[in-house]
Amino acid sequence: MPGLEVKNLSYSYKDKSILEDVCLEINPGEFAGILGPNGSGKTTLLNNINRWLVPQKGSILIEEQKVESLSPKTLAQYVATVPQETSLDLSFTVEEIVMMGRNPYLKTFEREKPRDKTIIEECMKAVGIWNLKDRYINELSGGEKQRALIARALAQQPKVLVLDEPISHLDINYKWEILELLKNLCKNMKIIVLAVLHDINLASLFCDKLLLLKDGKIFKSGSPEEVITEQNIREVFDVDVKINIQPQSGRPMITFISPVHKDTRPRSCERIHVVCGGGAGEKILQYLRERGYQVSAGVLNIGDTDWKTAKNLGVDVIEDLPFSPVSEEKAEENKLYLDRAEAIIICNIPFGHGNLKNLILLRDVVAKGEKKIFVLHETPIGQRDYTGGLAAKIYSQILKESVVINSIEELRDFF
């Protein structure tokens, strides 16, 4: 059975709907992250789960217990919260702060028993701060304070640990440490960890399940691979990203790309194919994408500077193996893109035997006389020909039938 179930949860503040028919299930031992833009209902969802707010509709169950039926003390034994903002009395030691987590198990004016002190020690050791027990809380670094607050929450021995933006104010090294700590606690203690996170890439790396909120509704839930897609991020956050897979984890990572701004200047074409390489096409690809053109590039070796730029910009790339000559298969694929394009731009790139096929294909396209060909001719071909003159011969034939431009600034006059 799921450790945490939220069924058709709705919450409104005055006449404004904040959450609407939210449903989710999280199992013990799962680390779940909540993503979404500001105002999407992330914190409100947490505050309904820990009953700081009361929903107008729906139910929340923890191990089949409805949270509304539990007394505050009993609920604190099921759910522990590390809030976004916490005011700490500077006169308390770290151990005293963590000891507060045992309050749900104590009667009024009752002192901690040996078992409580044992639990406190175990929790502090679990988060790596037992050596700080006699330090005052105001003497700790940001990461150490956060560990102390997590230890206090663990001292409640909860079934569900709720955290609202636990890493937003931390340096990157502490962010990594805290998320790694939470993941280990989740697995080792078999508790549910539910955290609001803003860093999509870190959420992807550490979370087992993600909940993507938009306008108070769950837009998508599932594994990082299911949730973090270019379309989902675009629809929820209104930004363009490129998804790459992190080699070590196999998890999706996002790279933000420049937004596409279509302006009102007249254009004579839409599809442009760019022949580039070695970084010569970086600025051109960036400019064309910003103008809103449908851009393709190739053939490029995987790992080439322009290959990386094209991937990050969401440009269609015909790619071949690193440090290898253009294969017949990729040349044929490139020919399809050349045929589809309404205009072709040849960047100021060197030509060797490895990319000579690109030039041969261009010569064949030029011979048909059906395409607009633009050659960025900043450096004499003799200084860029590493084929013993063969590339220069073909290049000269192409120049005769092309629009020759001498700088990227001139290119803007045409595109």
Same domain for 190 and 223, yes or no, is yes
302-352 confidence digits (pLDDT tens): 888 889 888 888 889 999 998 889 999 999 999 999 999 999 999 999 898
Same domain for 244 and 313, yes or no, is no
> Residue 294 maps to which CATH number?
3.40.50.450
Is residue 283 in some structural domain? yes
Same domain for 283 and 154, yes or no, is no
Residue in the structure block whose two tokens are 């045992």: 102
Is residue 264 in some structural domain? no
Whether 146 shows a pLDDT value over 80: the answer reads yes
Same domain for 195 and 338, yes or no, is no
Cα 354 vs. chain centroid, distance in angstroms? 35
Residue 207: strand, helix, or coil: coil
pLDDT of residue 265: 67
54-91 confidence digits (pLDDT tens): 888 999 999 999 998 999 999 999 999 998 766 666 78
Q: How confident is the model at residue 44 (pLDDT cuts 50, 70, 90)?
A: very high
Same domain for 116 and 238, yes or no, is yes
Last residue of one domain, picked from the residues 201, 226, 256: 256
| Secondary-structure breakdown of the chain: helix, strand, coil percentages, each rounded to the nearest 5 | 40, 25, 35
Residues 318 and 298: their CA atoms lie apart, in Å, by 5
- The candidate with the shortest Cα–Cα distance to 273, out of 330, 213, 317, is 317
364-401 confidence digits (pLDDT tens): 888 888 888 999 988 889 888 989 999 999 999 999 88
Pairing of strands 79-82, 160-164: parallel
Same domain for 76 and 201, yes or no, is yes
Residues 270 and 273: their CA atoms lie apart, in Å, by 10
Triad 79, 82, 88: Cα angle to 5°: 125
Q: How far is CA 153 from CA 26, 97, 104, 121, 376, in A?
A: 19, 10, 11, 13, 63
What domain range includes position 28? 4-256
Same domain for 97 and 243, yes or no, is yes
Of the CA atoms within 13 Å of residue 140, those in its CB half-sphere come to 27
Mean pLDDT of the region 139-143: 83
Mean pLDDT of the region 37-55: 91
Mean pLDDT of the region 144-171: 90
Last residue of one domain, picked from the residues 256, 283, 302: 256
DSSP state letters, 314-339: T-EEEEE-TT-PPPHHHHHHHHHHHH
Same domain for 49 and 140, yes or no, is yes
Amino acid at 306: D
- The candidate with the shortest Cα–Cα distance to 106, out of 63, 148, 66, 156, is 156
Q: Which stretches of 97-239 are assigned E, i.e. beta strand?
A: 160-164, 192-196, 209-214, 217-222
pTM over 0.85: no
Same domain for 159 and 279, yes or no, is no
Are 160 and 77 a contacting pair, CB within 8 Å? no
> Residue 174 maps to which CATH number?
3.40.50.300
pLDDT of residue 86: 65
